[in-house]
Structure 1
Amino acid sequence: MGLHATHDRSREQPESTWAFTDDRELIPLRAPVTPAARSLSVLLIEDDRADALLVEDLIDDAASGVRLVWARSMAHAEQVFASARPDCVLLDLHLPDASGMDALERITKRDATVPIVVLTGLNDEDFGGTAVAAGAQDFLVKGRVQPDVVRRALLYAIERKRAELMAVDLDATQLRARENAILERGLSASPLLLDNPGVDVVARYRPSREHALLCGDFYDVIQTPDRTVHVLIGEVAEDGPHEAPLGAALRIAFRALTLAGVHDVARMHHLERVLRSERSGSGICATALTLQISPDNPRLKTIRAGHPGMLLHGGGTVEWIMPPAGPALGLRADDWPQHELELPDDQGLVLVTDGLFQGFSSNGSQPLDEDGLSRPGESGDCIR
C-alpha cells in the first residue's frame, strides 16, 4: 500500500508528484513537459533521499521536459531497465548493493548504449575521472553543482554516447568494407600468362552493385606450358549476395582444372559438378563460354554453355558470332558441342556478358542488344 505526497517548493515552479512505494523507493508519477522540448527520461540511482531531492531541484531549475525516476538501489534500477530504457543515468557510486566500479559495470552490462553521469562526493572527486575512463560519459561533484551544469552534463553525456556509438558503428562498417574488399580482390581474376604469350589480353570488369569489386560475372585467362591459351567467361544467373562467391568458385575451379590438364568437355562436366555443390539453391545456374587458342594453329576451339556469343573484329568490320551452344551449367546437361572457328592474325575477339548488350544506345530509347554491339559507330550508337 502506498502513500501519495506533494513535494512543496517555495519557488514558483511546476509541481511534481511522487509516490512512495512499500520499500520507500521514490518514483515520480508526473513530470512537467514543455511542448517545445522533447521529454527526456533520467534514471537517478541514489540511496540518499536528501541528495535525490537536491538533484530533482537542480533538474527542475535547469530545464523543463525532464522526467526523473529515482531508484534507491541497484536492484531497483535493474527493474526499471527491464521495463524502459532511460535516456541517461545519474549514478551514485556508493550504493547499498553496488559500490565503485562495480556499480558502473552493472549498468553497462545491462545496457551498454545508455549514457551515464557519475555522482561523486567532495572527498572522492578524483574517482570521477576514473569512472569516465571506465566508461562513464561525465561526472558531477555533489555540493558543487549548479542547475546549468546539470543540464549541460546530461545533454553532453547523451550526445557523447551517441557519437561514441556512431563511431563504433562506423569502425565496424569500415572494417567489414576493408575485409570485403580484400576478399573480393583476392577472388578477382588476374590472367596467368607466360613470358611473350603471343596474345594480347585487355579486360574490363565493372560490377553493377554499388561499391563492389565482384559480381556474378567471372572470367579467367590461363596459358599452359605448351603455350595454349585457355579463356573462360561466364555469369551466375542469380541476383543476391551469393552470386560473387559462386562465380569466383567457378573461376578458381576452371584454373585448377586447366593447370591439371583437364580441358574441353571434360572440364565443363567438372564445372557443372562444382556449381551444383556450391550453389545456394537448386534453381541457380551459370552461363559459360570457353576458348582454347593454340599458338601454332589459327583455328580455336570454343564451348558455349548458354552464354551469349562474341564479337569478331578486324579490318574495319565487326561480326557477332554465335557458336553452337549447350545448356547452362547447373541444368544437368550431359554434353556441350565443341566448335572450331578461324581467327586470322589481324583479327581479335571480344567476349562479353549480357549486361553489356542489355545497356541502352545513345538516344536511350531501346536496348543495345547483339545487333547494336556489332555495329558500333553506326547511327551514333554507344553503350550507356
Structure 2
Amino acid sequence: MIDLESAASPRDDDRDPLLTGDDVPTPEPVPSVLVVEDDEGDWVLVAEHLEDAGLEAHLTRARTLDEAVGMLDVDCVLLDLGLPDATGLPALGRLLEAGAPAVVVLTGLADTRTGLAAVAAGAQDYLVKGDVDGERLGRSVRYAIQRRRLEVADRELYRSRVREQETTRLEQALLPRPAVRDASVELRVGYRAGRDGLLGGDFYDAVERPDGSVLVMVGDVCGHGPDEAALGATLRTAWRTLVIAGTPTGDVLGLLERVLEAERARTEVFTTVAMVEVAPDRRSADLYLAGHPVPFLLGPPTTLVPADRRGRALGIPVAGGWQPLHLALGDAWRLLLHTDGLMEATLADSTDRLGKPGLRDVIDAALAAEQADPTATNLVDVVIERVRALHGGPLVDDAAVVLIGSRA
C-alpha cells in the first residue's frame, strides 16, 4: 500500500500471533520516495507501479527541480529528466550537488547512452517509462536504497580509518619516546584522551643532554580539538629541537612562545608549561612554571612544590618572564608533573572537582599500593585510573602525567 500523505506503519493484525513481547521483530523502516515528475498521469502510474510491487513507501511529489532541491530528506528520488525548469543530465547533476540520496532516473528517453551517462554521473539506475512495470520499478527502488546505504557506510568507515590514522600520527608527535639513557633516572609517562577519545592539546617530553642534565616537561594548549592537538605536536617538537640544539634552559620557554605565536590559529590561544631541569648529579633541579599547575613531590607524605616563581602562560600578552625555582632534592626523590585534566575531574554524581587535595590523596593511595607490591603497579597508570574511577568513567579533559625521580 502506497501512502501518499504519511509514512505507513505496521498494523497489529499483520503480526505473527506466535510472536509476543520482546519476540516481535522490529519492522523495517518505511522508505520515503520523492517523485520529481510534472506529468499527472505519470505520477499516478508510479504510485500504482509501486503498489503493485508490494513496496510500502511514503511518496511525495515535486513538479519542478527547484521544488525538489528543497525536499531531499528522503531515502530515494525518482527523477524525470524532462522537467519544466531542467532537462537531461544537468538536472541529475544539480540534484546530486544539492545532496540527493539514491537517485533512480525514470524518463521517457529510450537512449542507452544517456542511461549509461546517468549511472556514471551518480544515478543508481536508469529506467524508461514505457518499459517499466511494478516489479522492476519496486526492485530498482529497493536496490537503489540499499546500495546508497552501503556507500554511506563505506564512506563513514573510510573516514573513521582516516581519523584513526590521523590520531595515531598526532599521538606519536604529542607523546614521543623519552630520550633519556641514564638508568639511575626513573622516568614514567602516561596519557589518557578525553571522553570523545580524540587527542587534545596535552603533550610531554624528556631529553637527556650530553652534560648529563635531564629536561622534562608537560604542556597544555588551551581548548580541544584537532587544531589544538596539531599545535601541541608542533610545540612538543619545537621544545625537543631547542633542547637538543643546546639552547640555554632559561631561553627555552621564550623561544617556545615565539613558535606558539607563529603557529596558533587565533591570537587568544595560549599554552601552559611545566619544565624541570635535573642536575647531572641528580640531587637538585630547577623548576620553570608558565601558568601551569605545580608538580607534586612524592612522599609519603606527598606535598606540592612551592609556586613562588610561577610565570605567565605562553602567549599571554602581559609583562613577565619565567624564573627558575631551585629544588634541593637529595639522594632519592620523585616529582610528578601533570596537566589539569586530573585535578579538574569531577567526582561521580556530583559537580565537585577532585582538586589538588583530592589528587594528592589519590597519589598517596597509589604510593601505598606500590609499596605493598612494587612489581605489580605502574604508579602513573594507577594514578590516572584511580582518578577515572572517582570520576565514574573517561575524563572530560585530556590528562598527561610525567614522573621523574632518582633511584639513588
Q: Is the 8 A contact 2:3 2:59 kept in 1?
A: yes
Consecutive unaligned residues of structure 2, counting only runs of 5 or more, are: 9-30, 52-56, 370-382, 391-408
Larger mean CA deviation between 154-163 and 222-231 belongs to: 154-163
Q: Which amino acid aligns with 1:330?
A: G
Q: Is 1:346 the equivalent of 2:332? A: yes
- What's the offset of the Cα at 1:219? 1.4
Tell me how large the CA RMSD over aligned residues is.
Answer: 4.2
Distance in 2 of aligned mates of 1:335 and 1:36:
67
Consecutive unaligned residues of structure 1, counting only runs of 5 or more, are: 1-30, 71-76
Secondary structure of the corresponding residue to residue 357 of structure 1: coil
Counterpart in the other structure of 1:319: 303
Distance in 1 of aligned mates of 2:68 and 2:154:
25
Q: Which amino acid aligns with 2:241?
A: A
Secondary structure of the corresponding residue to residue 302 of structure 1: strand
- What's the offset of the Cα at 1:177? 0.9
2:255 to 244, 250, 270: 270
Percent identity among equivalent residues? 29
Q: Is 1:88 the equivalent of 2:88? A: no
Counterpart in the other structure of 1:109: 93
Distance in 2 of aligned mates of 1:210 and 1:83:
33
Q: Which amino acid aligns with 1:371?
A: P
Secondary structure of the corresponding residue to residue 191 of structure 2: coil
Secondary structure of the corresponding residue to residue 203 of structure 1: strand
Secondary structure of the corresponding residue to residue 296 of structure 2: strand
Distance in 1 of aligned mates of 2:79 and 2:354:
66
Q: Is the 8 A contact 2:282 2:331 kept in 1?
A: no
Secondary structure of the corresponding residue to residue 231 of structure 1: strand
Q: Is the 8 A contact 2:49 2:137 kept in 1?
A: no
Q: Which amino acid aligns with 1:111?
A: L
Counterpart in the other structure of 2:25: none
- What's the offset of the Cα at 1:32? 8.5
Q: Is the 8 A contact 2:201 2:229 kept in 1?
A: yes
Distance in 1 of aligned mates of 2:192 and 2:123:
47
- What's the offset of the Cα at 1:258? 0.8
- What's the offset of the Cα at 1:306? 2.0
Larger mean CA deviation between 331-340 and 362-371 belongs to: 362-371
Q: Is the 8 A contact 1:125 1:141 kept in 2?
A: no
Counterpart in the other structure of 1:5: none
Q: Is the 8 A contact 1:32 1:67 kept in 2?
A: no
Taking structure 1 as the reference length, the TM-score comes to 0.69
Q: Which amino acid aligns with 1:57?
A: L
Counterpart in the other structure of 1:33: 4
Secondary structure of the corresponding residue to residue 298 of structure 2: strand
Counterpart in the other structure of 2:289: 304
Which has the higher Rg, Structure 1 or Structure 2? 1
Distance in 1 of aligned mates of 2:67 and 2:213:
74
1:151 to 115, 134, 138: 138
Q: Is 1:60 the equivalent of 2:45? A: no
Distance in 1 of aligned mates of 2:44 and 2:189:
70
Distance in 2 of aligned mates of 1:333 and 1:60:
78
Q: State the Cα deviation string for residues 237-262 of structure 1 (Å, max 9, x = none).
A: 33555432332232222111111111
Q: Is the 8 A contact 2:33 2:78 kept in 1?
A: no
Higher relative contact order (CA 8 A, sep 6+): 2
